[in-house]
Amino acid sequence: MNIAALLADLVLAVHAAVVAFVVLGLVLVVAGGLRGWRWIRHRRLRQAHLATVALVALQAWLGQLCPLTVWEQALRRRAGQPVCDGSFVACWLDRLLYLEAPWWAFVAAYTLFALAVAAAWWRWPPRPGTRLPAH
């Protein structure tokens, strides 16, 4: 395996981590809000989450692919791999991240998700001085 293929797998893993942060972030904010977990009100964590979700929704509205997707595809081409046919890790992560649907469906889904994050922000607002749990 060449360096471009390894870098493409790395980019895909980072992309999967960003998706997990976005999706699990909302789940944890809602669950934590309902259960009274103080750490879900950590201001910087919530700002990072909201900014990430807003960026995803904005890119969808502008008709742009995520830069991580573009980068991974370019690396796969450079490695001589088909865009969806990389290593085992790449193929499985690829199946989790990329769905076949019309573009408008993604715009609607990202917009609704961003609205849900904004609603959670309003319902359980972050508070200054709130700490993340210690390990």
Domain spans in the chain, listed from the N-terminal domain onward? 3-123
CA distance 20 to 13: 10
pLDDT of 76 > 60? The answer is: yes
pLDDT of 9 > 80? The answer is: yes
pLDDT of 96 > 80? The answer is: no
Across the chain, mean pLDDT equals: 87
126, 46 Cβ separation under 8 angstroms: yes
Min mean pLDDT across 69-78, 101-110, 116-125, 126-135 is at 126-135
pLDDT of 29 > 90? The answer is: yes
What percent of the chain is modeled with pLDDT above 70? 90
- In sequence order, which residues have a C-beta less than 8 Å from that of residue 44 and are 6 or more positions away? none
Between the alpha carbon of residue 118 and those of residues 28, 47, 76, 125, the distances in Å are 14, 11, 35, 10
- Token look-up 């790449």 returns 90
In this prediction, residue 128 has a pLDDT band, given cuts at 50, 70 and 90, of: confident
Q: Hey, what are 70's tokens?
A: 């573009």
pLDDT of 85 > 80? The answer is: no
In this prediction, residue 7 has a pLDDT band, given cuts at 50, 70 and 90, of: very high
What percent of the chain is modeled with pLDDT above 90? 56
